[in-house]
Structure 1
Amino acid sequence: MNPVTNPYAPGAGSPPPELAGRDAVREKMSICIQRVRLGKADKSIMLVGLRGVGKTVLLDQMMRDAEAQGVVAIRIEAPEGRSLPAALLPQLRLGLLRLSRLEKSKDYAVRGLRALAGFVGKLKVTFNDIEVGLDYEAEPGLADNGDLEGDLTALLEQVGKAAQSAETVVVIYIDELQYVPEPQMAALISALHRCAQQKLPLIVAGAGLPQLRGRMGEAKSYAERLFAFPPIGPLGEEDATDAIVKPAASENVAVDEDAVKLIVQYTQGYPYFLQEWGKHAWDVAEKSPITKADVEKASTEAIAALDESFFRVRFDRLTPTEKRYLRAMAELGQGPHRSGDIASELGRESSSLGPVRSSLIAKGMIWSPTHGDTAFTVPLFDDFMKRIMPGRDWLNAEV
């Protein structure tokens, strides 16, 4: 069939044609915004889940939903190796400038911009990656103590007061939140806690890997009372079916029931993989309907595409020792696995593998569902590891 009209959209953060199975979370966020706008307490939302479940797509859709409600939306990503202030301050500035154009919130917004100037003046030495324009002189004593937690709290308070005077809500959307270092995470949580105590309309919607919940709890013990952590997982059979059938139907193409079932089986309902299989099944099929035979033929190409992009880009960041650790996990199956079992597979003592395990957690490749357990953060990565490191030579080989 015509590849130009192929409706499926595999890609990092690419919105799918049918965002199936996420209505409840979107509604939860909408209610949160409406409550906070009215001065009522509610929890900020943190989306947690494995790679490929569509957290980024959902976060962006929630942002579009919020903008339709008239809120001031700020969107950042927290990549590895960059500080939270460096990512956050330029976007906070844009939000404050927007609020400063409204007569009823101008004074608070300008004071927020002065707080931002004070923050930068004191903390730019600590966070030397901060690059942000300053529109006003700093106000002495406002967000300029040189203490991240206190200054970020003072800054977000001013943002919240500006939003309150404008009768709106500021929502900060943060993707890949698990990469924020613990002291910076603690400062953010503390600042949000203070805003919640003052009933200021400023909340955060974040997204991260499953370890995010534990990391936030370690940063501040009250985090679990301040945030809701809806798990974002693979789609159930009905929603996965919709994700395949509805986009095709929009192009007047049918998908046989057996073909859909096979796609769901191959992908285990993970949204990214559903898009990949849908795309290749469409390209392979000569006409409507897309059949089971088409899906079987397309699967080879779908797996090859995943190996070269989704999986390979993560594999190439690993050291030889880290690759062997993950290969040992794959040998044991999908997981989760006990650290001792992984060590036994490698012929090593568990204690000697602690630094490797910690490095893989920091890189977002694995996480610990419970103490002593280890699981992949990337679905189907165990199968990929077996394909790229077959046999048993990997135990001693340089990769």
Structure 2
Amino acid sequence: MDPVRNPYAPGAGQRPPELAGRTRQLDAFDVVLERIARGRPERSVMLTGLRGVGKTVLLNHLRSAAISRRWGTGKIEARPDQELRRPLSSALHMAVREIAGSHRCPDRVEEFLGTLKSFALRATADKGMRERWQPGIDVPAVKGRADSGDIEIDLVELLLDASSLARDVGVGIALFIDEMQDLGAADVSAICGACHELSQDAAPLIVVGAGLPHLPTVLSASRSYSERLFSYHRIDRLDRSSADRALIAPADREDVKFSAEALDALYAAADGYPYFVQAYGKATWDVAAASPITEEDVRVAAPRAEEELAVGFFGSRYERATPAEREYMRAMADLSADDGPVATAAIASELDRKPASLSPARDGLIKKGLIYSAERGSIGFTVPHFGQYLRAQSD
């Protein structure tokens, strides 16, 4: 098959040719947007799931839905080594610029931008970096609001002011935060506090976050009421019909078909994970000689897809781990044939070590986003089939 016409797109956050199996989340977000447009209170939204299930792709689709309604939007990717204030300033600046042209009072917009500039400059004021970084807001800073230095107080004031601008225009603002589990504790608390105030005010501003499965635990550790503060959506594997659609629909547009046996083999190989569906679909297309694509094509292509996954999806993550962290992950893999969560006590027993001595390795892996605390006393891989990959490496 012509590789130039290959419709499949495995990649980090890369938009697939067919977004299959996410209708429920898209429809639910449309309801959120419509309720806010009518002045009804709504909760902010959190997407959680393993890596490779399409959280970032879905986050971008939700942003497109907000943009189509003329909302102001901004997006950031959280990082463990970066405080929230600076990237959020840039994202909110972008969102406000998108709605500013429709506001009847330019002075109101300029006043808000002055407040935003003061909020942003607090990111560097205490670190002696004011001369090295400026937020790119071409108005004088307005003192006395959102600039106390307390991120929670400042964020509440800033977002309430931003929502007031949006309400003047008759639209909303949505801030999208990817990898949200990597935010620091103070920033998580600030977001929870701000979202609480916004929902009580029925303000037309929401936060849409995406993160690993333990994101709800991160939020609840900050605020006990976080389970009622956000609308949670667990993003999981595709069911069989959705996985088939993700393969069939793009191929149909190229006048290419799959045999039923080929679809069986592809679902067995990809296990419904969207990233794997794209990886196996791409490799199979490239080796197939003609339509319909057959089970034999899948068999021949599978080693090519697995080699690509071993290097780009699994191997690159494994290489980031220290020797002690790799030992910890291999013990996890040996203890879980289905790659599900493993008791930390069992890992200590497997390695014949005291649990406390393994804490540095466990904490390092959590910080690197390779494992997560599934529940108290257990640990799981953030990457699907990672245990399977590790077991194959040791064979």
User: Any idea what the Cα deviations from partners look like across 1:104-147, whole Å, max 9, x if unmatched?
Assistant: 25343222212112223434234769651132223332112121
1:39, distance to aligned residue in structure 2 (A): 1.4
Once residues 200 and 133 of structure 2 are traced to their aligned partners in structure 1, the CA distance between those partners, rounded to angstroms, is 29
Q: Is the 2:89–2:119 Cα contact (8 Å) retained in structure 1?
A: no
User: Any idea what the Cα deviations from partners look like across 1:212-258, whole Å, max 9, x if unmatched?
Assistant: 11101111222211101110000011111111111111111111111
Q: Which residue of 2 aligns with 1:134?
A: 137
Residue 263 of structure 1: which of 261, 266, 269 is its match?
266
Summarize the alignment of residues 199-214 of structure 1 with structure 2, pairs less than 5 Å apart: 199-214=202-217
Q: Which residue of 1 aligns with 2:120?
A: 120
Once residues 317 and 49 of structure 1 are traced to their aligned partners in structure 2, the CA distance between those partners, rounded to angstroms, is 21
1:100, distance to aligned residue in structure 2 (A): 3.0
Residue 228 of structure 1: which of 228, 231, 238 is its match?
231
Q: Which residue of 2 aligns with 1:48?
A: 48
Once residues 204 and 262 of structure 1 are traced to their aligned partners in structure 2, the CA distance between those partners, rounded to angstroms, is 40
Provide the TM-score with structure 2 as the length reference.
0.95
Q: Is the 2:72–2:96 Cα contact (8 Å) retained in structure 1?
A: no
Unaligned runs of 5+ in 2: none
Q: Aligned with 2:207: secondary structure? A: strand
Once residues 238 and 97 of structure 1 are traced to their aligned partners in structure 2, the CA distance between those partners, rounded to angstroms, is 41
Bigger Cα displacement from structure 2, 219-228 vs 126-135:
126-135
Q: Is the 1:105–1:163 Cα contact (8 Å) retained in structure 2?
A: no
Q: Does 1:247 align with 2:250?
A: yes
Counterpart code for 1:39: G
Q: Aligned with 1:369: secondary structure? A: strand
RMSD of the alignment, in Å?
A: 1.6
Q: Which residue of 2 aligns with 1:165?
A: 168
Q: Aligned with 2:233: secondary structure? A: coil
Residue 147 of structure 1: which of 145, 150, 153 is its match?
150
Q: Which residue of 2 aligns with 1:308?
A: 311
Residue 361 of structure 2: which of 348, 356, 359 is its match?
356
User: Any idea what the Cα deviations from partners look like across 1:68-89, whole Å, max 9, x if unmatched?
Assistant: 1111111111133222112111
Q: Is the 1:99–1:106 Cα contact (8 Å) retained in structure 2?
A: no
CA change 1:45–1:243 in 2 (3 A) is same
Residue 294 of structure 1: which of 294, 297, 305 is its match?
297
Q: Which residue of 1 aligns with 2:284?
A: 281
Q: Does 1:21 align with 2:21?
A: yes
1:148, distance to aligned residue in structure 2 (A): 1.0
Q: Which residue of 2 aligns with 1:181?
A: 184
Once residues 335 and 298 of structure 1 are traced to their aligned partners in structure 2, the CA distance between those partners, rounded to angstroms, is 27
Taking only the aligned residue pairs, the percentage that are identical comes to 38
Provide the TM-score with structure 1 as the length reference.
0.94
1:380, distance to aligned residue in structure 2 (A): 0.5
Counterpart code for 2:347: I
CA change 1:130–1:201 in 2 (3 A) is farther
Q: Is the 1:311–1:384 Cα contact (8 Å) retained in structure 2?
A: yes
Q: Which residue of 2 aligns with 1:72?
A: 72
Q: Which residue of 1 aligns with 2:82?
A: 82
Q: Is the 2:71–2:99 Cα contact (8 Å) retained in structure 1?
A: no
Q: Is the 1:192–1:203 Cα contact (8 Å) retained in structure 2?
A: yes
Q: Aligned with 2:104: secondary structure? A: helix
CA change 1:126–1:208 in 2 (3 A) is farther
Unaligned runs of 5+ in 1: 392-399
Q: Does 1:385 align with 2:390?
A: yes
Q: Which residue of 1 aligns with 2:344?
A: 339
Once residues 243 and 121 of structure 1 are traced to their aligned partners in structure 2, the CA distance between those partners, rounded to angstroms, is 45
1:355, distance to aligned residue in structure 2 (A): 2.1
Q: Is the 1:72–1:95 Cα contact (8 Å) retained in structure 2?
A: yes
Q: Which residue of 1 aligns with 2:326?
A: 323
Summarize the alignment of residues 185-200 of structure 1 with structure 2, pairs less than 5 Å apart: 185-200=188-203
Q: Is the 2:78–2:179 Cα contact (8 Å) retained in structure 1?
A: yes
User: Any idea what the Cα deviations from partners look like across 1:363-393, whole Å, max 9, x if unmatched?
Assistant: 11111222111111100101111233x15xx
Q: Aligned with 1:229: secondary structure? A: strand
Once residues 122 and 19 of structure 1 are traced to their aligned partners in structure 2, the CA distance between those partners, rounded to angstroms, is 40
User: Any idea what the Cα deviations from partners look like across 1:202-221, whole Å, max 9, x if unmatched?
Assistant: 00111110011110111122
Counterpart code for 2:319: D
Q: Which residue of 2 aligns with 1:371?
A: 376
Q: Which residue of 2 aligns with 1:396?
A: none
Following TM superposition, where does structure 1 have runs of at least 4 consecutive aligned residues deviating by more than 6 angstroms?
A: none
Counterpart code for 1:69: R
Q: Is the 2:121–2:134 Cα contact (8 Å) retained in structure 1?
A: no
Q: Aligned with 2:224: secondary structure? A: coil
How many residues align structurally? 390
